[in-house]
């Protein structure tokens, strides 16, 4: 059976662990060649090594998505190594807690730089390569927090709302180039971000979701795959909630 990303090349940011790693490995299983990017070089290399060990094609590289130079280099290297850049997954992100009075200006700037500016910069340098090749797909990871308000999460929520705005604008701006742009909005996922939480806190997070549990990264990766593949060829500007019913309440 033909693999869903056969012949395509992809860049996945924040792919050293968690959702990014799950996306990169799933993409490889579906035939894509993958540039595995992470701010931590060892983590990027570990994900790329797993792909190579399973017979896929990948390379890992250290890149800071808040750096214009790194964002430009990331897109250029993917084209240099693979001959094209068909899919970009803007996944790199960080969590943040606090009210507007508690979040420092430095923390605010850091969250906006990684969660929002990073998606802007990586897209800015991927779009010209995609346009010259006749099109592509950009998937930005927002969050259920990007469509609702939540207490004591002001910087994180605002950054994820911003990602959705970015997606909708890029979808309109680059439709004529054949570039589709969509957002995936997960609920709480079982990623290393949760490692510091107590069993009671994890129970509370699970109870927030009508399905009674939190998501596995592989479940969210399947939604990203759908938007990256040609099967979603008439889908752009979409905001897809994969949140276990969290925002339905």
Instruction: Give me the active site residues, please.
Output: 156
The residue count of the chain comes to: 249
Residue 149: count other Cβ atoms within 10 Å of its Cβ.
10
Q: Which two tokens stand for residue 243?
A: 């949140």
């Amino acid at each position: 059976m033909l693999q869903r990303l056969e012949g395509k090349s992809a860049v996945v940011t924040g792919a050293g662990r968690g959702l990014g790693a799950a996306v990169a490995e799933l993409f490889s299983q579906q035939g894509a060649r993958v540039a595995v990017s992470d701010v931590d070089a060892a983590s990027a290399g570990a994900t790329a090594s797993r792909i190579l060990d399973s017979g896929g094609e990948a390379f890992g590289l250290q890149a800071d998505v808040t750096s214009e130079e790194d964002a430009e280099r990331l897109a250029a290297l993917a084209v240099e190594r693979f001959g094209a850049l068909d899919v970009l997954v803007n996944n790199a992100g960080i969590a943040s807690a606090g009210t507007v009075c508690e979040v420092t200006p430095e923390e605010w700037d850091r969250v906006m730089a990684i969660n929002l500016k990073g998606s802007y910069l990586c897209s800015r340098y991927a779009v010209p390569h995609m346009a010259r090749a006749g099109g592509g797909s950009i998937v930005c990871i927002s969050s259920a927090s990007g469509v609702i308000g939540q207490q004591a999460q002001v910087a994180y929520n605002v950054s994820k709302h911003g990602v959705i705005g970015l997606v909708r604008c890029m979808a309109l701006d680059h439709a004529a180039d054949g570039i589709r742009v969509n957002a995936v909005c997960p609920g709480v996922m079982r990623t290393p971000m949760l490692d510091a939480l107590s069993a009671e806190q994890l129970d509370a997070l699970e109870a927030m979701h009508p399905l009674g549990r939190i998501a596995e990264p592989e479940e969210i990766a399947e939604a990203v795959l759908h938007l990256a593949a040609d099967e979603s060829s008439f889908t752009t500007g979409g905001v897809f909630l994969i949140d276990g019913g969290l925002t339905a309440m």
